[in-house]
Amino acid sequence: MKNYKGIVAHIDLENQKIEMEEIERGSLRRWGGGSGLASSRLYEQVKPGIDPLDPKNVVWVMAGPLTGSVAPCSGRIEVVTKSALTGFMGLSSTGGLFGARLKQAGWDGIAIRGASETPVYLLVRPGSIEIRDASQLWGLDTFETSRAIAKELGDPSERRVKVMAIGPAGENFVAFACLINERCHAAARGGAGAVWGAKKLKAIAVDTQFRPLPASDHFRKVCAAASEKIKTNETCQAYSRFGSLPVSDSWFEMGCLPGLNFQKGVLPRWRETRGTERIKSFVTKPDGTCYHCAMPCFNRVEVVGGDYDGLKITSGTFVQAVMEFGAKCGIESLPAIWKCKEICHRLGMDYGSASGVIAFAMELFQRALLTGKDLEVAGLEWGDAEGIFHLLRKIAYRQGIGAVLAEGSARASAKLGPETSRFVMAVKGMEMIGADARSGPRAWCLGSLTSPRGGDNVRSTHMKGETIPDPSLLGRGNVTSWDAYSKAFVSRLDMFPELKKAIYGDPPRVDPFTFRGKALMVKWFEDLFSIVNALGVCIFPADKLALGPTDYAEMFSAFLEEEIGPEELTMIGERIFNLQRLFNMREGVTRKDDSWPDRFFEEPLMEGPSRGAILSRETVENVLDEYYDTRGWNRLTGAPTRDTLRRLGLEMD
């Protein structure tokens, strides 16, 4: 293949050995490369029941075949391991330039096994990988680590050297410790940072100049056409300007904020303090784009004056931090919210889980199940930014109550007592991020149940497939406008015609607040996102519906120089998703784990436009039945049936 090298380095840290493997074309055709191939290898290499921090656990840092190429948005790299937080499949993705530089140095991935006796980092250069002493780096935060390594390698500006590192949270085995590269990019969820810490691996540094990868004329032409679709897509370009900021207002209007540990769907003074226009007022310039991006969505926010004067964050226009610390923990001050994000990035912690365990602790304090003495603070009221800063550092260094919360809210609850379990807002042991399932869009929320990694939908339904231009359309009875919008929207989707009809109906209706058709919609986007992640490109063009399986199949076909149709491409994604389910089931996942916390079924929302909203267990169970049927999984166990495994070529001994 003119477009591909396909070399993976296998690093044995215990014996300080490095071996090379050439990835065969057949493996790409079967798994798509990247996270697909890494998931299959993890299934083979990591035996059931192994502790994630055991040296026998393996970490795959894996670029996709399209990473670093002329394909649009090709800056992604995946980290796949057994999750330190959940014990299930650990899947993390990060952008920036690190993955592209790894590919341009001649390496498609690095598989790390064993554990070093002393701290080390890996120095990756074209044609070589060196295991270096990192004793002088141990204890530094991720920003300091990147700076120190770049300076050691003669690149104080950090333009040439790209570093992925853990911080103190990873060194101290915080279950949701993450990896940070280039300061603002995170391989966040699942605790890969703790796995690195257990292996005494501080960082991977790639030292190489930009080296364009070989590309055939046909591959360039197909990629240019895909890039043009993204650049002319209004949704993509709006996201490029201000990221996900509009979500701040729309979720408030819908009453689906994760307020105060999912107690409230709305919060007082939300628009004035944390709304879209308020956030925009801090935006200064685009900053920190990923490799070859056709819709760069990172922006700089800067704080002038006040307690956080001089604070600069990239990207402050990703609204998730506002939801996590602003809604879930009740902080009103945007600068304080961004300070939380900076602390998490420096210490190397996933702020989705960090905010979740802190919101859990705050509700325990609210309900007198934890005291100020337990927390080593005077109190921990909702919105107490200084108290939250204090807890973030306690968690990263496993000090006091931080040592308990560092295990994640599910395991922390087991230590704090059964009366605390009701306030754990997690799915499969991972703290939930995103909308309140009682009042949020149905497919969007359903994806958090079925995601292979637990409490979020970034690997599944993080998409616009059920978006309507104005939620009030549903309440005004404006049927003509609603139907016209639905027809135009569905006609543009790159989706197989029979699926469009099954999901949206005929005539089509886009409705985020019904479960009708959502089981099939969830499966469709799970399979699509699985292959997109495996290819090593950003999911946002697929998320925004600018690109679909036809586009990705054309790019992958041109890359491989052999034909892969959209149907086969989505089947590769389906194979990956089912393999990840098999890994989780081997570790104990059953149907009962595909469920939301009891709060969503037993406590109606009490305020706002979604007042009275509550989930029906019967309805959700029926939707799961439909989803399992759609996937070809056993309704009772949630396991793929023999026929499904046979169809996907996943028969196991």
Is the pLDDT at 281 greater than 60? The verdict is: yes
Are the beta carbons of 196 and 59 closer than 8 angstroms?
yes
Residue 544 banded pLDDT, cuts 50, 70, 90: very high
Q: What pLDDT score was predicted for residue 58?
A: 98
The topology under which CATH files domain 442-648 is 1.10.599
Is the pLDDT at 529 greater than 90? The verdict is: yes
Are the beta carbons of 427 and 410 closer than 8 angstroms?
no
Architecture of domain 7-207: 4-Layer Sandwich (3.60)
Is the pLDDT at 472 greater than 70? The verdict is: no
CA dist 208 and 38 (Å) reads 24
Is the pLDDT at 416 greater than 90? The verdict is: yes
Show Cβ contacts of residue 252 under 8 Å, excluding neighbours closer than 6 positions: 266, 267, 270, 271, 275
Can you read off the two tokens belonging to residue 615? Answer: 């989930």
372-381, 398-407, 496-505, 597-606 — which is least confidently predicted?
Answer: 372-381
Q: What pLDDT score was predicted for residue 1?
A: 58
Is the pLDDT at 653 greater than 60? The verdict is: no
Show Cβ contacts of residue 506 under 8 Å, excluding neighbours closer than 6 positions: none
Q: Which CATH class is domain 218-431?
A: mainly alpha
Q: Cβ of 557: how many Cβ atoms within 10 Å?
A: 18
Residue 600 amino acid letter? F
* Closest by Cα among 112, 111, 119 to 149: 119
What DSSP state is assigned to residue 349?
B
Summarised one tens digit per residue, pLDDT across range 334-354 is 999 999 999 999 999 999 999
Radius of gyration of the chain (CA): 23
Q: What pLDDT score was predicted for residue 379?
A: 85
355-359, 460-464, 520-524, 631-635 — which is least confidently predicted?
Answer: 460-464
What DSSP state is assigned to residue 326?
I
Residue 5 banded pLDDT, cuts 50, 70, 90: confident
| Residue 112 phi, psi (nearest 5) | -120, 125
Q: Tell if the pTM clears 0.95, that is, is over it.
A: yes
Residue 353 vs residues 188, 260, 359: alpha-carbon distances, Å: 9, 14, 10
CA 532 from chain centre, in angstroms, equals 13
Q: What pLDDT score was predicted for residue 486?
A: 92
Query: Looking at residues 487-500, what average pLDDT do you find?
Result: 95
Residue 483 banded pLDDT, cuts 50, 70, 90: confident
Q: Which residue carries 């210490």 as its tokens?
A: 347
| Residue 196 phi, psi (nearest 5) | -60, -45
Is the pLDDT at 621 greater than 90? The verdict is: yes
Q: How far apart are the first and last CA of the chain?
A: 33
Sketch the domain layout of the chain as residue ranges. 7-207, 218-431, 442-648
Q: What pLDDT score was predicted for residue 469?
A: 72
Q: Residue 212, preceding bond cis, omega within 30 degrees?
A: no
Taking the C-alpha atoms of 591, 597, 602 and 608 in order, what is their torsion angle to the nearest 10 degrees? -130
Taking the C-alpha atoms of 144, 148, 150 and 155 in order, what is their torsion angle to the nearest 10 degrees? 110
Is the pLDDT at 116 greater than 90? The verdict is: yes
Residue 471 banded pLDDT, cuts 50, 70, 90: low
The overall average pLDDT reported for the chain is: 95
Is the pLDDT at 476 greater than 60? The verdict is: no
Measured in residues, the chain has a length of 653
Is the pLDDT at 468 greater than 60? The verdict is: yes
Q: What pLDDT score was predicted for residue 317?
A: 74
Q: Please tell me if the domain spanning 218-431 has the same topology as the one spanning 442-648.
A: no
Summarised one tens digit per residue, pLDDT across range 143-187 is 999 999 999 999 999 999 999 999 999 999 999 999 999 999 999
CA dist 603 and 613 (Å) reads 9
From the number of C-beta atoms within 10 Å of its C-beta (0-12, 13-18, 19+), residue 354 rates as: buried
